[in-house]
Amino acid sequence: MLAIDTDLIVRYLVGDDPAQAARARRLIDHNDVFVCTTVLLETEWVLRSVYGFSVAQCARALSDFAGLPRASLEDAATAAKALAWMRQGLDFADGLHLAQAEGCEAFISFDRDFVKAANALGGIKVRAP
pLDDT in tens, 22-78: 999 999 999 999 999 999 999 999 999 999 999 999 999 999 999 999 999 999 999
Residue 123's pLDDT is what?
A: 78
Is residue 122 over pLDDT 90?
no
Q: What DSSP string describes 19-61?
A: HHHHHHHHHHHHS-EEE-HHHHHHHHHHHHHTT---HHHHHHH
Looking at the chain, the whole-number percentage of residues with pLDDT higher than 70 is: 100
Global pTM?
0.91
